[in-house]
Amino acid sequence: MTSLAFTCPTVRRIGILTGGGDCPGLNAVIRAVVRDALHCGITCVGIEDGYLGLIEGRCRILQQQDVSGILHVGGTILGSNNKSNPARHKVGVDAAGKAIYRDVLDECIGTLEKHGVEALVTIGGDGTHTAAAMFARKGVPVIGVPKTIDNDIEGTEITFGFQSAVATATLALDQVRTTADSHHRAMVVEVMGRNAGWIALHAGVAGAADVILMPEVPFSLEHVYAKVRDRSEAGKRSSLICVSEGAKLQGGQQVVARRVETSPDPIRLGGIGKFLAEKIEDDTGVESRYTILGHTQRGGTPVAADRVLGTLLGAHAMTLLRQGRVGRMVAIQKGQLTDVDLATPAGKQRLVQAEDPLILAARNIGTAFGDGVVM
């Protein structure tokens, strides 16, 4: 194990990286961390492309001008990577062409020492925090900042990026509604979220979807058809269905779009929207179309709430660092700013509970979840 001389709260130089898939609000966190750090004389070293940049030694000093004018900009000025894992880094292939992996955590710590980095701020999801906790166990003072549009990180009740994704998905539901009404159609909008239905639930409610389908509530086609038919028979011009990419039939499997073998989570979901629209049209006779929102939900300008949340969490990360309270992930719980053990999200996903108040509210106002439950 590399010997470390990291000490807090006297750190003079910190590193910052963004790992995993990007999301709106990352730049708000980077800006908050860098501005707060510079304000108290701490130098910030930006590590490019997540842990990959740390493994490859790609680091640069971030000055005030680097974070100027980025609050409203999507993506991350540092770049990100959702395939690099310092505990399992591909270093070559053997004679049979099989990949050889090695733990390069100590080399990464060597890179931090070479750049004089005394503490690390890691902005990412469960994969990024799992690796961050490994660095913490080796003595590196780390503060994690949770991000993802999926809102599924254990330990915090909200992640920045989520509200921007919901705004994008809601706008899409509003926009397809006009064609649905004009043409007496059922419109299916497929949203992201991995195994969590947060985006589908919130956008579905905000966009007045008639049916919301999410991974936590397996559905049956018959119940979806019943809602579409009931609406047609009641003289409604259209039906709007908001389906999470991870939604699945009762007793069925999620629809996998592809596998990314080099990624810590190789499964990429997608395709349930197409399946659903085709089945609705074939089996009910109601003309149907589908729209897959994909990465439109991860891109573009963050909504104000995500800029605020990113700023709050970034500044809190610096507060913890100054207090020497490291090995923590900043979080929101019961609406309050707090922090939890850095390893909290490792290997977990925060899913929507069946008794979530928003599910109950939606059921009470007649929204169907495809499970036949009627309130």
Q: 249: left (phi > 0), else alpha (psi -120 to 50), else beta?
A: beta
3-state secondary structure of 297: helix
In 3D space, the residue among 220, 155, 175 whose CA is nearest the CA of residue 369 turns out to be 220
- Number of residues near ligand F6P (by CB under 6 A): 12
Q: Which of 11, 17, 19, 21 binds ligand F6P (CB under 6 A)?
A: 21
What is the DSSP pairing of strand 43-47 with strand 13-18? parallel
Segment lying near ligand F6P (by CB under 6 A), choices 33-41, 63-71, 134-142, 189-197: 189-197
Question: Cβ closer to ligand F6P: 227 or 298?
Answer: 298
Residues 310-339, mask of contacts with ligand F6P (x by CB under 6 A):
------------------------------
Segment lying near ligand F6P (by CB under 6 A), choices 45-53, 146-154, 178-186, 365-373: 146-154
Residue 84 lies near ligand F6P (rule: CB under 6 A): no
Residues 257-296, mask of contacts with ligand F6P (x by CB under 6 A):
-----------xx---------------------------
The tokens describing 354, both together, are 């069946």
Dihedral (CA of 248, 253, 258, 260) sign: positive
Question: Cβ closer to ligand F6P: 20 or 53?
Answer: 20
φ/ψ of 227, rounded to 5, equals: -65, -45
The residues annotated with a catalytic role in the active site are 150
Alpha carbon distance 374, 26 (integer Å) = 40
Residues 226-255, mask of contacts with ligand F6P (x by CB under 6 A):
-------------------x----------
Contact 62, 45 (CB under 8 A): yes
What is the DSSP pairing of strand 99-102 with strand 89-93? antiparallel
Alpha carbon distance 82, 90 (integer Å) = 14
Contact 374, 218 (CB under 8 A): no
Question: Cβ closer to ligand F6P: 36 or 245?
Answer: 245
Residue 200 lies near ligand F6P (rule: CB under 6 A): no
* Residue closest to ligand F6P (Cβ): 192
Binding site for ligand F6P (CB under 6 A): 21, 82, 148-150, 192-194, 245, 268-269, 298
